[in-house]
Structures are given as C-alpha cells and as structure tokens.
Amino acid sequence: MPTLQQRYQNIINEMQRLAPASQLLAVSKGQPVEKIRELYALGQRAFGENYLREAEQKIIDCCDLPGIQWHYIGPLQRNKTRPIAEQFDWVHSVDRQLLAERLGNHRPTSLPPLNILLQINVNAEQQKSGAAPNQISPLAQTIGTYSSLRLRGIMGIPKQLQSDTEKHLSFAALYTAYQQCLELTPGADTLSMGMSGDWQIACQEGATMVRIGTAIFGPRK
Ligand SMILES: *Cc1c(COP(=O)(O)O)cnc(C)c1O
C-alpha cells in the first residue's frame, strides 16, 4: 500500500506533466484532521469539504496552519449561507440567484471577497445541483454587484458511469461554459472539474483546478 505522501506525490508529478498550470484541491471530507495536517506539511494548502458541521470542526482544529484555504464544494442550502460565507475562502456550488445574494450579504466586510464558482449541471441531470448554462450571464451579473464576492469561474461534475468519450464531451462542454463566463468576467481564472476517477481527462480538456479525494487520502469513513 502506498503511503499518503507517495499517493500525493504521484498525483502532483502526473499533474505537472499533464497540466502544469492547474491546481490541486485536496478533498478532505470524511478524512481525519491528522491527514489534513500531514498533507499541509507536504505543502498542500487548498482543502475541499462538503458538510458544514464536519468542516467547521476541522477549520477550528487547523486554525494554527497559516495560509490554509477552505473550499466549500457540497450542495448549498439557503440556511447555511451565513456560516459558509464567514468561514470559507471559496464556494464551488453557487447555482441560484438567491444563494449568490445571501453569500454576498453574509460575507463579512473584514474578510477578503469570497471566491465564487458557478456550478453547472452539464448533463442536465434531474436530481443534481447546478445551473443551466443559460444562467451564467444573470448569475455573473448578480455576483458582479457585490464587492464581497469575486467570481472566479465554473465548477462541474459530469454524470457518473460515462465512458471516457462521454467524459471528454462533458468536460469540453464545461470548458465552453467557462469561456462564456470569461467573456462576462475577464478576471475569471478557474475551471474546477475532475475527481479521483477522471481528473486526467479533465486536465486534457482544460481544467485549471481538479478536486481529488480518495486517490490521495484513500477510502472515506
Ligand atoms: C467528494 C467530491 C470530490 C472528490 O471525490 P473523489 O472521488 O474522492 O476524488 C470532488 N468533488 C466533489 C464536488 C465532491 O463532492
């Protein structure tokens, strides 16, 4: 069994080859704080969490680690926007006007702007979060009215169990959404796509940030 350090180093090396400019978000949901600290010691700074309660405890437990960055990547609920706006650096899952407005209103002025990605439901799946691509323009416009928010780009999660060919098409569609976002927000710089099972394909299709959990940390609890 490779160690955490070996798995991490292998992914960093492969990313360096495939997409030297893209960034790694270590998805630490369901993983203990000790592993977050171990990865931090190896140089990792950006961590992704899905569940607010679990994340809040980890943020407290890691408050002695300078420069650590927390990304909220789970489904957003309207009643959670305040604690998320107060404690996270990034939110990847904004898909409705109301959520953008609430995050904008709840982000404390004492903090730098909250980095926002618009989650796009790229395969138009019934139960999945994410906006339709035609919502990018109105959402970008709303976010632009808040000095407490900074639109950084697009996030997407293609349908599970797609073939590699289908995955390529889904990631390419997200890339198109990202280009649309860039036209509206020239400062945008982030296309967050690709997870443990498909991040290499995502890099080939232009991901600037990949979100990897189990391939680094091993299985979740
Ligand atoms: C859990 C999760 C990931 C990481 O998944 P792995 O398959 O463990 O790499 C990435 N993105 C989102 C939105 C997730 O919920």
The 10s digit of each residue's pLDDT in 103-149 is 999 999 999 999 999 999 999 999 999 999 999 999 999 999 999 99
**Segment 176-204 mean pLDDT:** 97
- pLDDT band (50, 70, 90) for residue 78: very high
**What does DSSP assign to residue 135?**
G
In whole numbers, what is the pLDDT of the chain averaged over residues?
97
Q: Which atom of ligand 1 is nearest to the CA of 157?
A: 13
pLDDT at 221: 85
**Segment 55-62 mean pLDDT:** 98
- CA-CA distance, 57 to 47, in Å (whole number)? 14
Inter-residue contact 2 to 13 (CB < 8 Å) = no
- pLDDT band (50, 70, 90) for residue 1: confident
- CA-CA distance, 127 to 217, in Å (whole number)? 28
The 10s digit of each residue's pLDDT in 20-33 is 999 999 999 999 99
Q: Which residue in the block uniquely carries the two structure tokens 């995502």? A: 202
**Segment 174-192 mean pLDDT:** 97
97, pLDDT greater than 90: yes
Assessment of whether the complete model's pTM goes beyond 0.75 = yes
Q: Hey, which CATH number is domain 4-217, 3.30.300.20, 2.40.110.10, 3.40.140.10, 3.20.20.10?
A: 3.20.20.10
Residue of 11, 73, 203 to mutate, ligand 1, most atoms within 8 A of C-beta = 73
Centroid of ligand 1 to alpha carbon of 158 (angstroms): 11
The 10s digit of each residue's pLDDT in 30-47 is 999 999 999 999 999 999
pLDDT at 179: 98
Residue of 54, 118, 195 to mutate, ligand 1, most atoms within 8 A of C-beta = 195
For the chain, give every domain's residue range.
4-217
Residue 169: partners with Cβ closer than 8 Å, 6 or more residues away: none
Q: Which atom of ligand 1 is nearest to the CA of 211?
A: 10
- At residue 166, what are phi and psi to the nearest 5 degrees? -65, -40
Centroid of ligand 1 to alpha carbon of 178 (angstroms): 20
Q: Which atom of ligand 1 is nearest to the CA of 215?
A: 9
pLDDT at 53: 97
User: Nearest-CA neighbor of 101 among 116, 121, 122?
Assistant: 116
Does the C-beta of 155 come closer than 6 Å to ligand 1?
A: no
Higher pLDDT, 2 or 73: 73
Q: Which atom of ligand 1 is nearest to the CA of 214?
A: 8
194, pLDDT greater than 90: yes
